[in-house]
């Protein structure tokens, strides 16, 4: 086996390097208890200049859009005038940290803003945000941004809307997302479960039971008299989205308005027949885990009661998505492997060499998230339904209940009963994700087979075994159910699958759940991050204004737009493309070229599929970053 080994003159160097790494990459279990996170961000884990530039560009878009919304300007000259005045204002009020180099840079930018008032791309504002980011660093910039946002919010729209179109006015510069056109339709509601921001909830069921007592009449009024609940269950055409994990969560408030979290049940069914284009339909929704607390609604119910019920499902789905699917099962899932890799594997160890590019920016973004986004008064606290403590607990529970060996994509699909393409013919996330999984798995197999010829080679790699043991250890990465016997790695096949899962999660899975934040979740009417009416309202007649009052007020909708737009906009690095000269072994280079070719073929297949199904582009290889970095 060609694992790296020190030469005679430097036989102690590896241990010295690892000891230094262990001092720098320490675990902390108190940041999001009891999840393993890095204690203090090492200097080499800071964001790159290129990443800061990408962030600055998105901040510019949100800044200008918000300024136009709140100050009512639509002409480019007037916007530039307001931008100039605003920047001077926040400097004088101390929102931007006073540093000589930064102020010097701002003095260069301001004349451009004044003189180039007809510019449409506001490039100078990119330079402004980039200067602040580069000079002050992310943590100081985050505090500055909060102060800037406070000044920027002056004149913002407030209160609950009187009609849906009022939400469209929040997008004067960046444009209303496509979802605004059809989000209220049953087709869009059902498609969100299989091609939306959280496409991992539905499970196939044979029957419903007393907890969700949908009647035959209710089923048939939606699916037709020639179908039945029993037949649909027997034929594998019934699918349930169950948000029971949210039951008992504590409702949050922000700033003083009451928010509500819900734990609904939603039933979907695939129509009878052999048509490969059969789309799943919504059948019934119960907005509580207990039938006595909430009636069952169907598409045949009163219009606004049905819209109210569908929106409650969207709210529950969004809260599960952000805390569990996104934060817990991608960011916090991958983080411990980044730490263990630095602590136990030398830089030139083959597994380390393969994995490290897939960790770029992960510890930095996780650290920034826990200190700002998931902190008191941070974005999660402001926007999601529960209290901040509940959201953090939900993320930890979601991660701890996600056993590593059961998290393999094929196993996950099989476990939920959604792997059969005849029973569930249209499921874009499943179909495209499997293509990416297979391509990564082939690449990892080809790569590792260069260095490990037998299972014994794997077993005898002491560095690799130390890495595996630490990843799963209670005083290490605390990754649930990692490894084979005694937490060790016994076979090459397992190593291939394990590394595949880590890379897939860091790249494709995160892409699938992160980037819909911009295209879908930025429009608060379609995907509210919190509800603002109690579920008990459904026991009476529901009016249009009741439905509108369930949705976020405009000030919250603007906050949601600004946050999700940025989170879903930054595409930094690309799956399958490693740093120049990262791999020196010719055999690896040949395997990598094969991987890149396979990804190009997947790209073609996905484009072809999108000709015959509702468009799904989140798993186009060209749109999948190499690592979790936003």
Q: What is the 3-state secondary structure (H, E, C) of 418-433?
A: CCCCCCCCCCHHHHHH
- Residue 95, pLDDT > 90, answer no
Instruction: Please give the pLDDT value at position 418.
Output: 98
**pTM above 0.95?**
no
**Does the pLDDT value for residue 156 go beyond 50?**
yes
Q: Which residue has the higher pLDDT, 39 or 6?
A: 39
Interacting residues of 482 by C-beta distance below 8 A, sequence separation 6+: 404, 405, 468, 471, 472, 498
Q: What's the CA gap between 241 and 218, in Å, rounded?
A: 18
Sheet with 296-297, strands from edge to edge, namely 203-204, 238-242, 265-269, 281-286, 296-297
What span, in angstroms and rounded, lies between the C-alpha atoms of 421 and 64?
Answer: 45
Residue 582's pLDDT band, with cuts at 50, 70 and 90, is very high
Mean pLDDT of 255-277: 95
Q: Please write the tens of the pLDDT for every residue from 215-238.
A: 999 999 999 999 999 999 999 999
pLDDT at 73 over 80: no
pLDDT above 50 for 589: yes
Instruction: Return the CA Rg of the chain.
Output: 25
* Choice among 39-48, 151-160, 226-235 with the minimum mean pLDDT: 151-160
Condensed to tens digits (0 to 9), the pLDDT of residues 325-341 reads: 999 999 999 999 999 99
Q: pLDDT at residue 178 above 70?
A: yes
The pLDDT value given to residue 108: 45
pLDDT at 30: 96
Whether pLDDT at 289 is above 50: yes
Question: How confident is the model over 154-182, as a mean pLDDT?
Answer: 94
Residue 61's pLDDT band, with cuts at 50, 70 and 90, is confident
Q: How confident is the model at residue 105 (pLDDT cuts 50, 70, 90)?
A: very low
Q: Give residue-wise pLDDT tens across range 419-448.
A: 999 999 999 999 999 999 999 999 999 999
pLDDT in tens, 387-422: 999 999 999 999 999 999 999 999 999 999 999 999
Tell me what the pLDDT averaged over the chain comes to: 89
Give the pLDDT score at 181.
Answer: 96
Round to whole Å and give the CA distance between 216 and 228. Answer: 7
> What's the distance, CA 577 to chain centroid?
22
Q: For residue 107, is pLDDT > 50?
A: no
Cα–Cα dist 584/603, whole Å: 27
* C-alpha of 440 from chain center: 20
CB count in 10 Å sphere of residue 12: 9
- First vs last C-alpha separation in the chain: 37
Long-range contacts made by residues 482-491, C-beta under 8 angstroms, separation at least 24?
482/404, 482/405, 488/459, 489/458, 489/459, 489/464, 489/465, 490/455, 490/458, 490/459, 491/455, 491/458
Task: Measure the CA–CA gap between 481 and 267, rounded to whole angstroms.
Answer: 31
What whole-number percentage of the chain has pLDDT above 90? 78
Residue 132, phi then psi, degrees to nearest 5: -65, -45
Determine the pLDDT at residue 52: 86
pLDDT, position 55:
86
Q: Would you say residue 98 has pLDDT above 50?
A: no
Q: What is the pLDDT of residue 109?
A: 45
Helical residues (DSSP H) of 452-491, grouped into ranges:
455-459, 462-472
Please tell me the predicted confidence (pLDDT) of residue 59: 82
Asked if the model's pLDDT at residue 196 lies above 70, the reply is yes
Share of the chain above pLDDT 70, in %: 85
Residue with more model confidence, 484 or 101: 484
Contacts of 339 (CB under 8 A, 6+ apart): 25, 27, 36, 38, 363, 477
123-152 vs 100-115: helix axis angle to the nearest 10?
110
Dist. CA 314–CA 296, nearest whole Å: 16
């Amino acid at each position: 086996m060609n694992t790296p080994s020190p030469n005679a003159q430097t036989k102690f160097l590896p241990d010295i390097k690892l000891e230094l790494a262990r001092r720098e990459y320490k675990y902390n279990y108190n940041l999001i208890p009891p999840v393993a996170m890095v204690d203090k961000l090492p200097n080499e884990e800071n964001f790159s200049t290129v990443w800061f530039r990408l962030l600055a560009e998105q901040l510019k878009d949100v800044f200008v859009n918000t300024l136009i919304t709140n100050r009512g300007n639509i002409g480019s000259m007037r916007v530039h005038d307001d931008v100039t005045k605003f920047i001077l204002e926040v400097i004088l009020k101390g929102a931007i940290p006073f540093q000589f180099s930064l102020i010097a840079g701002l003095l260069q930018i301001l004349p451009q803003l004044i003189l180039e008032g007809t510019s449409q791309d506001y490039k100078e504002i990119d330079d402004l945000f980039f200067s602040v980011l580069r000079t002050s660093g992310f943590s100081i910039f985050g505090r500055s941004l909060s102060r800037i946002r406070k000044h920027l919010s002056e004149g913002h729209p407030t209160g609950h809307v009187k009609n849906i179109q009022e939400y469209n006015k929040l997008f004067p510069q960046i444009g209303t997302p496509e979802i605004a056109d059809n989000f209220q339709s049953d087709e869009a509601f059902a498609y969100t479960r299989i091609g939306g921001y959280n496409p991992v909830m539905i499970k196939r069921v044979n029957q419903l039971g007393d907890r969700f007592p949908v009647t035959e009449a209710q089923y048939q009024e939606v699916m037709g008299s020639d179908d039945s609940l029993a037949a649909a269950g027997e034929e594998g055409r019934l699918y349930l989205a169950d948000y029971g994990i949210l039951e008992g969560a504590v409702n949050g408030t922000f700033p003083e308005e009451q928010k509500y979290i819900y734990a609904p049940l939603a039933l979907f069914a695939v129509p009878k027949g052999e048509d490969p284009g059969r789309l799943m339909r919504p059948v019934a929704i119960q907005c509580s885990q207990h039938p006595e607390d909430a009636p069952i609604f169907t598409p045949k119910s009163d219009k606004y009661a049905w819209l109210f019920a569908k929106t409650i499902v969207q709210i529950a789905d969004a809260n599960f998505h952000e805390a569990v699917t996104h934060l817990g099962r991608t960011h916090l899932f991958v983080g411990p492997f980044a730490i263990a890799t630095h602590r136990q594997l030398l830089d030139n160890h083959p597994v380390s060499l393969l994995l490290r590019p897939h960790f770029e920016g992960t510890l930095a973004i996780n650290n920034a998230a826990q200190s700002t986004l998931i902190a008191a008064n941070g974005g999660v606290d402001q926007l999601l339904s529960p209290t901040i403590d509940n959201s953090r607990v939900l993320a930890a529970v979601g991660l701890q209940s996600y056993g590593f060996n059961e998290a393999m994509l094929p196993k996950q699909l099989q476990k939920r009963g959604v792997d059969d393409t005849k029973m569930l013919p249209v499921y874009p996330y499943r179909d495209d994700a499997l293509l990416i999984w297979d391509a990564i798995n082939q690449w990892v197999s080809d790569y590792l087979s260069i260095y490990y010829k037998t299972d014994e080679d794997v077993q005898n790699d002491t560095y690799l075994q130390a890495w595996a043991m630490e990843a799963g250890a209670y005083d290490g990465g605390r990754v649930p159910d990692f490894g084979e016997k005694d937490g060790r790695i016994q076979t090459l096949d397992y190593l291939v699958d394990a590394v595949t899962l880590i890379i897939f999660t860091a790249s494709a899975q995160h892409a699938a759940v992160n980037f819909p934040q911009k295209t879908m979740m930025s429009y608060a009417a379609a995907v509210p991050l919190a509800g603002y009416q109690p579920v008990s309202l459904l026991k009476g007649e529901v009016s249009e204004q009741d439905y509108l009052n369930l949705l976020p007020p405009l000030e919250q909708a603007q906050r949601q737009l600004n946050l999700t737009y940025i989170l879903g906009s930054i595409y930094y690095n690309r799956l399958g493309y490693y740093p120049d000269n990262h791999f020196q072994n010719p055999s690896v280079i040949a395997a990598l070229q094969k991987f890149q070719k396979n990804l190009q073929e997947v790209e073609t297949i996905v484009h072809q599929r999108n000709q015959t199904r509702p468009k799904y582009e989140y798993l186009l290889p060209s749109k999948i970053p190499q690592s979790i970095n936003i």
